[in-house]
Amino acid sequence: MPKRFRLTRRFNAAMTEDGYRRLRRFASEAGLDEGEALSFLFEHFDSVTNEENLTARLRLFNAELDERKR
């Protein structure tokens, strides 16, 4: 029997405009709202990410983060 889908946790999240646009596009393509899309991505994080690509992208993002905050 599948688990009942309940959105029980809410939190404020700050996102870049590019990140939010991409989330909205993904949610729309998947037929989900933004909260459902985030839940899906985090519940299935290991299967929807490539560990090598994730590590490289995270390194680049962290390198640019201070400059992007200005």
**pTM score above 0.85:** no
How many H helices and E strands in the chain?
4, 0
Tokens 């201070």 map to which residue?
66
Question: pLDDT tens-digit profile of 22-61?
Answer: 999 999 999 999 999 999 999 999 999 999 999 999 999 9
List Cβ neighbours of 24 (8 Å cut-off, separation of 6 or more). Answer: 34
**Of residues 49, 22, 47, the one with CA closest to residue 37:** 22
pLDDT level of residue 1 (50, 70, 90 thresholds): low
Measured between alpha carbons, how far is 58 from 64 in angstroms, rounded to an integer?
10
Q: Residue 2's pLDDT is what?
A: 64
Q: Residue 45's pLDDT is what?
A: 94
